Amino acid sequence: MFVDSSGRRARLLRRLGLLVGAVCVGYAAVLGLAFMGVGISVNPSSLLPFGAGGDGPGGPGPGSGAGPQGGVAPTGPPPSAGPSTSPSAVPSAASTD
């Protein structure tokens, strides 16, 4: 049986225990602050990649922003994504000399 008469092993274990305890107390403090809402600067719905959350990490997907409201799908025609041209923007075919 090994007996450490100098006390170095006991000191090392005590310091290691204090370090682990300090880490646990720090983690508990951060967890408590997170539960209270400290440090949250974004709206949780903005983290979603669809609907009112804006563009997600993958960019705008199909139907982003045009999702069902209250569980009911929209019944109107889908909005056109192409550019619209007005009749005044079309050049005339008649030329003057």
For 36-90, give the DSSP string: HTTT--S-GGGGSSSGGG-SBTTB--TTTT-PPBTTB---SPPPP-SPP--GGGS
Residue of 50, 92, 41 lying closest to 68 (CA atoms): 50
- DSSP 8-state class, residue 91: P
Q: What is the pLDDT of residue 22?
A: 98
pTM above 0.75, yes or no: no
Beta-ladder partners of 69 = 72
The residue with greater pLDDT, 47 or 16, is 16
Q: What is the pLDDT of residues 44-91, one digit of tens each?
A: 777 778 765 444 455 555 555 555 556 666 666 666 665 655 555 556
Q: Where are the domains of the chain?
A: 7-39
Q: What is the pLDDT of residue 71?
A: 61
